[in-house]
Amino acid sequence: MPELLLELFSEEIPARMQARAAEDLARSIAAALGPLAPADMQSFYGPRRIAIACSVRAGVEASRSSERGPRRNAPEQALAGFLRKHGAAREQLREEGDFWVLDKLIPGTDAADLIARQMPDVLRRFPWPKSMRWGGTSSFAWVRPLRRIVCLLDGAVVPFDLRDGDDDGHGLAAGDLTEGHRFLAPGAFAVRSAAHWLEELRARFVLADPAERRAMIEAGLHGQSGASGMTLVEDAGLLDEVAGLVEWPVVMLGRIDAAYMDLPPEVMQVSMRVNQRYFALRDADGEVAPWFAFVANIEARDGGAAIVAGNERVLRARFADARHFWDLDRAQTLESRVPALDSVVFEARLGSQGDRVRRLMQVAGIIAGEVGADADHAERAARLAKADLVTGMVGEFPELQGVMGRYYALHDGEDAPVADAVRDHYAPKGPADSVPAAPISIAVALADKIDMLAAFFAIGEKPSGSGDPFALRRAALGVIRIIRERGLRLNLGPLIADHLFRNRWGSVGPEICDFIVERLRVQMRAEGARHDVLAAVAGFAAPAYDLALLLARTDAVAAMLQTDDGANLLAGYRRAANILRIEERRDGPHDGPIATALLEQPEESRLAFKLDLIEPDVAQLIAEENFPGAMEFLASLRHALDAFFDAVTVNDARPEMRRNRLRLLARVRAAMHLAADFSKIEG
């Protein structure tokens, strides 16, 4: 199959847009060239180009098709519209039953013609998040000025341009010329194929493969730091971004001025990352090293001495700014900043950050008593939790909120657990983030997330579909992770209801709790756990919504289902439930008392006796939260139920016998529903 190479060469593309653009290009090409069955698609992207290489059919063979048109007695206007749509004449129609039919000959076309016809539309409709126009009067837009288009089919140029009527499309037309590195190999050169394109770009200091660039940078960072006895502070996001900023990566090390080594490590790292895309390093003891790593886009003749010196000079200026904020912020206590939060809007309908702090103090004090924390300390931490939002450092680097609050709290002489809670109350921020461990930190972190959920649910701002502008799913997952990983017993239902009541927010408590339970189910599904079992026991969560209790019940049911007795009992339950579902539509429900005198077969008598024996114990054990014990009693029902189905005809011809046996099955269902709604178990 012929090889298609398409490269779009432009001014520098923002790193964050490159990967998505390459995906969009591949998807657009696959759709536009569908008749050519594109295969073996390869995507390439970098600072100044996105490209695809794939194999396509040599052409599309001629074919015939039939299109059914209007009825023969349809109005003349309908027939005229059909002919106009297909560019046909009336003489081309034939009658088939009550309809007009048009037989069409679809001429064949070779791949080059189809590509040339489709490409201008693909490029004009390309879905950049942001695009621009440049020079002249053309309406064609691209993320940055587009300079060249390479389009080759088996080495031959596929001729097309971006003209559209009077619009000259910036004079852009497909060719075989591209460019290498802007500084190390300026100027255009011709390419013949994808392999030749990659080879010639490499010779001109451009690595077109993003994975290769990233791997080269990562190896260079570890190699340079390791050779100097240091370790790299891993930062996958920064690595991805830098890989999109350079075409020919060269890793270098710079030295940090000793005058700034007393800045908090987080300040240094964030300043280097955000402002300069530098990587932080640690020494052999795990402390901040007086060095930083960065990636240049050029091989310098002096070995990089001037580049390193320039970057060191820039970093000194950045750290001088950080030093200014650090010193200025510490001149004022966090406590003195709290009143300023009344002027910072949290959400227009929910008041200020000051209002939020007062809510956090309320709920943190309540939670403290549930998690073994000092209530006064929890309320103090909640009061100071948001104060660093009005500091200069957090204004410059929002990523440091909480982190700076801890440093400033310690500087002010606050108790260490209070300061730690100021830092930790945002945690966990994501799946890789650890959850708070100290009781005070746990209390304030839970308060922060519960208030977020209560506040936004109260004003109707609930997540929908993929939309979650206030990160409420993350807040719910934070609550779940803290409770699960710290083994907490916490009745979320009353706690959330009380918080809503105190703030006059209505009664969306059950909805919030159900949302949290659903997030728990999603999390368990992602973990490969029995999320269906959680769904089966979720109905028992209200009104307390004790997640630890819910998980304990889930684990016990899941463990029972792993046993032979449990699996067979589930099969028997399903058989009973199916029979009841059918029969209850006829004359149900069948949930009355069982007539002992009508138990004529030993198997039904044994099942009734077994139910009498285990039901009180199952109920008692569940009340005592001994779920494994309750499951053991339920599993013992398996043999009696199996024997019943083997020997007893439920739908007996005698109505009274049928009703009694259906009631017996209904009692089996009810006994099992003491533990879980087994109808929701999958498989």
Domain extent at residue 410: 340-558
Residue finishing a domain among 171, 203, 235: 203
Strand partners for 622: none
Are 489 and 572 members of one domain?
Answer: no
Rounded to 5 degrees, φ, ψ at 493 are -55, -60
Are 619 and 662 members of one domain?
Answer: yes
91, pLDDT greater than 90: no
Task: Tell me how far apart the alpha carbons of residues 356 and 42 are, in angstroms, rounded to a whole number.
Answer: 51
Residue 593: pLDDT band by 50, 70, 90 thresholds? Answer: very high
Structure token pair of residue 119: 């490409």
Q: How many domains does the structure of the chain reveal?
A: 5
- Does residue 92 lie within any of the structural domains? yes
Three-class HEC string of 356-375 = HHHHHHHHHHHHHHHHCCCH
Q: Hunting for tokens 């970093």 — which residue is that?
A: 315
Are 394 and 538 members of one domain?
Answer: yes
Can you give the CATH number for the domain in which 665 is found?
A: 1.10.730.10
**Over the stretch 415-438, which tens digit does the pLDDT of each residue have?**
999 999 999 999 999 888 999 999
Tell me what pLDDT residue 262 has.
Answer: 95
**Over the stretch 515-536, which tens digit does the pLDDT of each residue have?**
999 999 999 999 989 999 999 9
Q: Report the mean per-residue pLDDT for the chain.
A: 95
| Element of type H or E holding 423 | helix 416-424
For residue 654, the tally of other CB atoms under 10 A from its CB is 10
**Over the stretch 324-383, which tens digit does the pLDDT of each residue have?**
999 999 999 999 999 999 999 999 999 999 999 999 999 999 999 999 999 999 999 999
**Over the stretch 470-503, which tens digit does the pLDDT of each residue have?**
999 999 999 999 999 999 999 999 999 999 999 9
Can you give the CATH number for the domain in which 474 is found?
A: 1.10.3210
**Over the stretch 552-561, which tens digit does the pLDDT of each residue have?**
999 999 999 9
Rounded to 5 degrees, φ, ψ at 31 are -70, -45
Is the CB of residue 63 less than 8 Å from the CB of residue 97?
A: no
Are 301 and 357 members of one domain?
Answer: no
Mean pLDDT of 168-175: 94
Are 529 and 599 members of one domain?
Answer: no
Q: How many residues does the chain have?
A: 683
Tell me what pLDDT residue 66 has.
Answer: 86
Are 504 and 648 members of one domain?
Answer: no
Q: What percent of the chain has pLDDT over 70?
A: 100
Is the CB of residue 538 less than 8 Å from the CB of residue 550?
A: yes
- Does residue 506 lie within any of the structural domains? yes
What are the C-alpha distances in Å from 582 to residues 143, 146, 397, 586, 662? 62, 67, 64, 7, 11
466, pLDDT greater than 90: no
Are 447 and 476 members of one domain?
Answer: yes
Tell me what pLDDT residue 238 has.
Answer: 96
Tell me what pLDDT residue 63 has.
Answer: 74
How do beta strands 146-153 and 174-175 pair?
Answer: parallel
Structure token pair of residue 128: 């950049």
Angle of helix 439-458 versus helix 472-485 axis, rounded to 10: 150
Q: What percent of the chain has pLDDT over 90?
A: 90
Are 552 and 466 members of one domain?
Answer: yes
Question: Under 8 Å CB-to-CB from 246, ≥6 apart: which residues?
Answer: 47, 213, 217, 295, 296, 297
Task: Tell me how far apart the alpha carbons of residues 80 and 609 are, in angstroms, rounded to a whole number.
Answer: 80
- Does residue 465 lie within any of the structural domains? yes
Tell me what pLDDT residue 191 has.
Answer: 97
What does the DSSP assignment read for 253-280? EEEPPGGGTTS-HHHHHHHIIIII-PEE
Residue finishing a domain among 558, 583, 601: 558
| Element of type H or E holding 510 | helix 509-527
Are 533 and 632 members of one domain?
Answer: no
pTM for the full predicted model: 0.84
Three-class HEC string of 221-239 = HHHHHHHCCCEECCCHHHH
Are 519 and 458 members of one domain?
Answer: yes
Tell me what pLDDT residue 61 has.
Answer: 81
Task: Tell me how far apart the alpha carbons of residues 520 and 591 are, in angstroms, rounded to a whole number.
Answer: 33
Are 454 and 548 members of one domain?
Answer: yes
- Does residue 335 lie within any of the structural domains? no
Tell me what pLDDT residue 103 has.
Answer: 86
Mean pLDDT of 449-460: 97
Structure token pair of residue 4: 């298609």
| Element of type H or E holding 612 | helix 602-623
Sign, CA torsion 663/665/671/673: negative
Residue finishing a domain among 537, 558, 579: 558
Are 69 and 130 members of one domain?
Answer: no
